[in-house]
Amino acid sequence: MGIKGVIFDLDGVLVHTDRYHYLAWKRILAEYGKEFSLEDNEKIKGVARSRSLEILLEMKDISMSEVEKISVLRKKNNWYLESVKDIDEEDVLPGVLDFLEQLKSNGYRTAIASTSDNAYIILELTGLRKYFDNVVDGYKVKSPKPNPEVYLVGALEMDLDPSECLAFEDSHAGVLSAKRAGMKVIAVSDKEIPEADKWITSLDGLDLSILTI
């Protein structure tokens, strides 16, 4: 069956907001006297906020009361929002607009499948919202990536079978989510994600021939 719809993760695929999530967590961990490297960050890429905190607490051997967790999660999000408040069209990653224009002018359906509760904010600030028929964000699904729900809902909202959809993802959790939903997945990452069907490092220069993988 041919591809009729393309579903994109947002942070790290279309916009470099993955960096701001990383920096906000780094600042949180610094308050506990802990380092946080980009390699550590790979373990929480694409993972929901509260689950990310649980992973970090275990990784860095920090114990925290439930009350403190709530305030840390709030602080992390406030710092993240503060760091993205001035982003705009210029922050859209290279090749993204050109590829989205090609998809839209050739009649492909498009959706966002993001774990972030802040997806709409980023889509509005960057002017990307108009390119997507459907947006699935952290508020819309119960089970975050690597659960398949977010990609399945994306396919359902586009009125397509998952086998008619192609996903673009930068995280291991996200690649697993899309694969479990029954889609072909292209990893957009500096490092290979073995579970993906294909690996590219950027959307720059991409054309519609990628849809035939």
Q: Which is nearer to ligand BG6, 84 or 103 (CB)?
A: 84
Q: Which does 118 bind (CB under 5 to 8 A by kind): Mg ion, ligand BG6, none?
A: ligand BG6
Q: Which is nearer to ligand BG6, 12 or 154 (CB)?
A: 12
Q: Which is nearer to ligand BG6, 18 or 157 (CB)?
A: 18
Q: Which is nearer to ligand BG6, 3 or 137 (CB)?
A: 137
DSSP state letter for 196: S
For the chain, the distance separating the N- and C-terminal CA atoms, rounded to the nearest angstrom, is 12
Using CB under 6 A as the binding rule, whether residue 11 contacts ligand BG6 is answered as yes
Q: Are 180 and 147 in contact (CB under 8 A)?
A: yes
Residue 9 is among the residues annotated as catalytic for this protein: yes
- SS3 at position 163: helix
Q: Which does 126 bind (CB under 5 to 8 A by kind): Mg ion, ligand BG6, none?
A: none
Directed axis angle between helix 172-180 and helix 149-157, to 10°?
A: 60
Using CB under 6 A as the binding rule, whether residue 18 contacts ligand BG6 is answered as yes
- CA dihedral for 211, 132, 158, 119, sign (positive or negative): positive
Strands (DSSP E) contained in the chain are 5-8, 109-113, 134-136, 165-169, 184-188, 198-200
**Rule CB under 6 A: which of 70-109 touch ligand BG6?**
77
Number of residues that bind ligand BG6 (CB under 6 A): 18
Using CB under 6 A as the binding rule, whether residue 177 contacts ligand BG6 is answered as no
**Rule CB under 6 A: which of 111-170 touch ligand BG6?**
114-118, 138
The order of strands in the sheet holding 184-188 is 134-136, 109-113, 5-8, 165-169, 184-188, 198-200
> Residue numbers of the site for ligand BG6 (CB under 6 A)?
11-12, 18, 21, 45-49, 52, 77, 114-118, 138, 171
Residues known to be catalytic:
9, 11
Known binding-site residue numbers for substrate:
9-11, 25, 44-49, 52, 76, 114-118, 145
